[in-house]
Amino acid sequence: MRTVNIFSSYKQENRFTNGLVALLELSTKVTPHFATSFLNGLLNLDPDGEICTFRVLKRIEGAADAELCGKGFCIRVETKIWSSSLTGGQVRRRLRELHGCKKKIKRLVLLTPDDSNSEYIKQFCDLRPRRILHLEWRRVYDFLKQHQNDLGPVFAEIVDQFLALIHDTVFEQDIVGAILVVAFGDKSGDSETYLTEIADGEPGWTSFNTPQKYSGLDGTGRKLMLYDKTRMAITAVGEIKQVRKTNRYRAFPWTNYFAPGSLHVLAEPIPVKRIRKLDGFEYLGKCQNACWKVTQEEYRELTGQAR
């Protein structure tokens, strides 16, 4: 029985795993180079020989989402389509399962929307630096888009449909963080000096307190973007490592801790004019809403990465 089928009705992230592995397997019917260039270009893996088996979910030891194997290598994939959804226990289980594999080269690939350079992802890769690799969905998307016409029009159309699924589900729905509208002052930092304090790494900026817990920041690894009401721009961005209710300040009981060294002042502040061009952000800074969730695609628009 086939475990990889492009028409399989897996739910949520398993559907994405199945789609990607199905595309890689289909490509081998034309040439083995597409799949091997995927491994080499995105994971810096150059295994000896071609990929011989492609498997998704069923018939895999443990519960890895996918497996790509050749004569001397085994690559297992753990897939997430939402940021900040990996857990240490889960990654350790996958490592234990992979340890029993007899192949010479063994790798666990964490395929998620998260930033590979974030402290959130580094904590998992540091468990076994030579065995665990992280791969962003954005890099997968860019690779497929760049090479979708390499294997003819039928393959190109299938890839195009998969790209639309990634874009519409991952990039336009996954929350990368939040914009927090702040009136800087006595309770939130001096408006004249806070940027210099952040740039100088002042210890007072290891965290930021808020009046409530915001769902756009409740997953570790998400970005907190500080919008300065006076400057009418996003002026600083940091990665949230942890959110806890500390009651440090009566009116601001929730403490959002930054990953060490992640809070930085933007060389070019993001002006309100650009922010309000996004759908649903037209009233940012004009209304009482202090926290605005930002998706992967919206963040790329704000930071000028969108093409």
Over residues 277-301, the pLDDT tens digits come to 999 999 999 998 999 999 999 999 9
Tell me, what's the pLDDT at 305? 80
Amino acid at 297: E
For 40-56, the pLDDT digits (tens) are: 999 998 877 789 999 98
pLDDT of residue 1: 46
Beta strands in 173-273 (DSSP E): 175-182, 207-210, 223-228, 233-249, 252-258, 264-271
**Tens digit of pLDDT for each residue in 185-228?**
766 667 888 999 999 999 889 999 999 999 888 877 899 999 99
Alpha carbons 295 and 297: distance in angstroms, whole number:
5
| CATH homologous superfamily for the domain 175-302 | ph1033 like domains (3.10.590.10)
Question: What is the CATH T-level fold of the domain 12-171, as seen in this structure?
Answer: Trna Endonuclease; Chain: A, domain 1 (3.40.1350)
- The mean per-residue pLDDT over the stretch 237-257 comes to 93
Kindly list the domain boundaries of the chain, sorted by start residue: 12-171, 175-302
pTM, entire model: 0.88
Amino acid at 274: R
